[in-house]
Structure 1
Amino acid sequence: MTQIIQISTQYQLANIVALIRAGRLGEAKERRILVIANNSFAPELTPAADDMPGSAGLLTHFDLIIDWNATIWPNHPKAFGISGERAPLMQRSLRSGWAIADDEPIDLIVESLPGHPAGVLTQIFTTARISVHSDGLMSYGPIRNPLSLPQYQRLSTIYYTDLLPGITPRQLAEHSPDRVVLPAADLKSVIEDMAAEVAPDLAAADLADPIPDAAMVLGQYLAQIDLITAEEELDLHLQMIDEVKARGLSTVIFKPHPTSARTTIEPLRQRSHELGLEFVLADVSLLAEIVIATTRPQLVVSCYSTGLATARALFGTATAAIGTSMMLEVLAPYQNSNRIPLTIVDALHSGGYALKDLGPLIDAVTYCMQSETASYLRDNAIEFLESAVGGEDMKYFKRKRLSKLDLPGQLEIPAHRKGLSSAKRRLRTQAKRAQHTLKTYGISIDAPKLVPKVKSTLNSKLSMKLRSEPDR
């Protein structure tokens, strides 16, 4: 058996090595091939996970390291797909290049499905057993798109890090995979080893030792992914500096997000000095968890970064979340994968939730995000929403979404509109039936083009219906 393990971030690499060390990925005799994809917008300018400081010791746990970007060059990992005709050819090529016998069974362990590059690897290795390794808070919610039949038929296991003790991730739960949990302490041990490896880098940045009376502010890149404007993001980070002052601490350690613009640094430095706070810039190509492990801040502040969860779970550090209420308002569409991390962080910091009570809320939001794949959660969602209507928990839901799914808390339809809505639904149904009938005779017409024709046959009935209703 050969294990092909695909990652795209150093944090994922740390999680995988923690699983290996804990014996959760099988026996040491397993041959392990690590496939590293650099999914950044400009991979030529951004170091891949194996090139980042702190990775050298982790790479010793693998028999072969593959640069996926080089393998598929000049394609980008996010854009590279493969047809059914080419897949067998590429499998044979990769087996040959990676020294895997044609009859050797493969255990494929990939990041989030069905996106690329994970998805394309499942298409290439068509007989491999599939497992998913999950890191961060997104694993506690649903995936964006349903798996294909060949994928979920081969899905075996979900590996996840226990960032929320007592809460089981909902990712791919509709397929009932086995779940293997990695205790946070095992990941902490790997992070500490990485910190020891990069001690010179930390020392050069004055980050090698605990910084007393400090708070770490973790920058996010919300403007870069068009969730808010650059001005709103700067204001959000300034509020984080204000929070440090309000907590009575004396030093700010600012760790920018690796992919964010650096234009916020000077305004944050200035705000810190205005408030009488020391400002330490941790602009290093290191995981935030490594810097937390060495500087030992008393508080970690961000919006809804997974770093808040890892700080709590790995180091027991106090955390504060800023701007989550605003983000709950503006995050769109409702199915956005950031919704579950945002919901969890807001609930724990401003929603009055204890960790053990998060399950019903996560179930309800998960169902509203992906009602088809998470249909098994409908009763849970109804039960939660029946008790939530009229209360603070309704901030986690959109009334239009509840209306679409016919759930408690939905918008009330005015009585004079109900007949019109049902008539419109009948109109669409008639058009689709007519389209299907014409198709059987080899005539193809889009349903929207049929609506006027169908409408003419229903117009008199519809008009009579509307005239008979009271004007409200």
Structure 2
Amino acid sequence: MIQIFCSATQYAAATVTAAIRAGLFGPREGVRRVLVVSDTSAVPEVGTPLDRMPGFDALRGEFDEVRSWNAFVSPHHPAGWSPRAQDARLWEKAVRLAWDLGDEPVEIACESLQANPSRAIADIFADSALHVYADGLMSYGPTRNRIPHGVSSRIARVLHLDLVPGLRPMLLSEYGVPSVAVPDAAIVDVLARLGESNARLLAERLPADRPPTAVLLGQYLSAIDLISQDEEERLHVRMLRAAARAGHEDVLFKPHPSAPAGYGDALRTAAAELGVRLTVLTEPVLAETVFAYLKPKLVVGCFSTALTTAAAFYGVPVARVGTELLLERITPYENSNRIPLTIIDAALPDAERAPLGEPVELAGLADELTPLVRAVAYCMQSRRHHALRPEVVAWLAVRLADHERYFKRRRLTNLRLPGGAPVRGAALRRHPAVRRAVRRLRATAAR
């Protein structure tokens, strides 16, 4: 048996390594494990490949070999290339030949099947069982796009991190795919080993006399067109002011790896005005490695998954900034970032208003978050989750007033849910679906 594990980020590779070490992919004997790394950034040629990043040696031992998907599909970009359906068998032969896979059976563990290269690899190995692993809060939301039956019927399970204990993932649930949590101890151990490899780098970069006590997380939201770059820089400044308000004079800013080089200029200017010593960490180090090494007293971000890993795995106090703005801006309603944004906004304190410094017990929030997440998910993908309608209607009828910011009135109206505008006769008559039905009825009557 050959097991192919596809990873595009160090965090994804750490997640699948933790699953392997937890025994979720069976014993090592008689199995050949291949890690396929890819870089889907806009210009991967100038980036650092996953297998060359600091700390990769802590993951390397679980795999018999490492292959580069970027090198295999060159000169095509890995995020934009996929095989034509009629060529899939030819590409399977090409991959088997290039990687010396022979005729052995293959099973695949990959990230989101919504996008390449995971989708391309799943299409190439059209007879292989699929294991989808999700490393963030998006696993709690609905599947973004329809998965063809030829792919969905092969998915064995969804592996996910138990970031909000008690909250069940909805990813691929409409296809009857079960979800399995990667044990916390396994992922924390893997992240700790990664941290050991990066300890020297962090020791060189962080001031030893007054180490930062607060960490700010950048997400590069302008890259996915949620807000402008200027707005995102102002968002970072708001994070800094919130940390300063909480009494932190030494702050670390960890920008997104894809952020431009000058992205922290406005933050440095604000830090000088506030009298805060700011360290900008541009090296490719996981946020979780920073948490383990630095043991900060506060982590502030917008809706990064790292906020929940800080709270769930390290017990660090966390807070959010700017989620109200993003809840207004995020489009379309089906945007997969809506569920992470909703969870963070509902679960974490507002860094600009609430008292800070106390850890957030995510395990105690599942009962409150579950109906909210399911209601938002239903509004995002109602056609795929018909069975949720009765409970969503009942919940909205009672709780909508306290959760209006998570729902759009137009969406509630279109779905005929509590909180929507009354449907007027004239508007109903103008609805395209109604007009088509009337034309069909008239044509039938004319016969």
TM-score (norm 2): 0.91
- Using the TM superposition, name which of 264-273 and 400-409 deviates more: 264-273
Mind listing any 5+ residue stretches in structure 2 that lack a counterpart? Answer: 355-361
The Cα of 1:31 is off from its aligned counterpart by: 1.3
Could you tell me how far apart the structure 2 residues matched to 1:379 and 1:426 are?
Answer: 24
Q: Does 1:429 align with 2:437?
A: yes
Q: How does 1:46-445 map to 2 (within 5 A)?
A: 46-102=47-103, 104-206=104-206, 214-350=213-349, 355-356=365-366, 357-389=368-400, 391-414=401-424, 417-418=426-427, 420-421=429-430, 425-429=433-437
Q: Secondary structure at the match of 2:237?
A: helix
Structure-2 change in CA distance of 1:27 and 1:240 (3 Å): same
The Cα of 1:216 is off from its aligned counterpart by: 0.3
The Cα of 1:418 is off from its aligned counterpart by: 4.8
Would the aligned equivalents of 2:163 and 2:312 in 1 still touch at CA under 8 Å? yes
Would the aligned equivalents of 1:159 and 1:182 in 2 still touch at CA under 8 Å? yes
The Cα of 1:368 is off from its aligned counterpart by: 0.8
Structure-2 change in CA distance of 1:85 and 1:425 (3 Å): closer
Q: Which amino acid aligns with 2:243?
A: V
TM-score (norm 1): 0.87
Over the residues paired in the alignment, what is the CA RMSD in angstroms? 2.2
Which residue of 2 is the match for residue 37 of structure 1? 38
Would the aligned equivalents of 2:141 and 2:171 in 1 still touch at CA under 8 Å? yes
Could you tell me how far apart the structure 2 residues matched to 1:69 and 1:159 are?
Answer: 25
Q: Which amino acid aligns with 1:23?
A: G
Structure-2 change in CA distance of 1:264 and 1:418 (3 Å): closer
Structure-2 change in CA distance of 1:34 and 1:205 (3 Å): same
Which residue of 2 is the match for residue 18 of structure 1? 18
Could you tell me how far apart the structure 2 residues matched to 1:28 and 1:181 are?
Answer: 20
Mind listing any 5+ residue stretches in structure 1 that lack a counterpart? Answer: 438-456, 458-472
- Using the TM superposition, name which of 45-54 and 61-70 deviates more: 45-54
What's the CA shift string for 1:174-217, capped at 9, x where partnerless?
A: 1222322112232111111111112322222127x796571100
The Cα of 1:99 is off from its aligned counterpart by: 2.6
Q: Secondary structure at the match of 1:198?
A: helix
Which residue of 2 is the match for residue 461 of structure 1? none
Q: Secondary structure at the match of 1:290?
A: helix
The Cα of 1:46 is off from its aligned counterpart by: 1.2
Could you tell me how far apart the structure 2 residues matched to 1:105 and 1:13 are?
Answer: 23
Report how many aligned residue pairs link the two structures: 432
Could you tell me how far apart the structure 1 residues matched to 2:382 and 2:285 are?
Answer: 38
Would the aligned equivalents of 1:210 and 1:297 in 2 still touch at CA under 8 Å? no
Q: Secondary structure at the match of 1:159?
A: strand
Would the aligned equivalents of 1:211 and 1:297 in 2 still touch at CA under 8 Å? no
Could you tell me how far apart the structure 1 residues matched to 2:385 and 2:374 are?
Answer: 9
Q: Which amino acid aligns with 1:189?
A: D
Q: Secondary structure at the match of 2:221?
A: coil
Structure-2 change in CA distance of 1:322 and 1:26 (3 Å): same
Once the two structures are aligned, what percentage of the paired residues are identical? 37
Could you tell me how far apart the structure 1 residues matched to 2:122 and 2:250 are?
Answer: 48
Q: Secondary structure at the match of 1:35?
A: strand
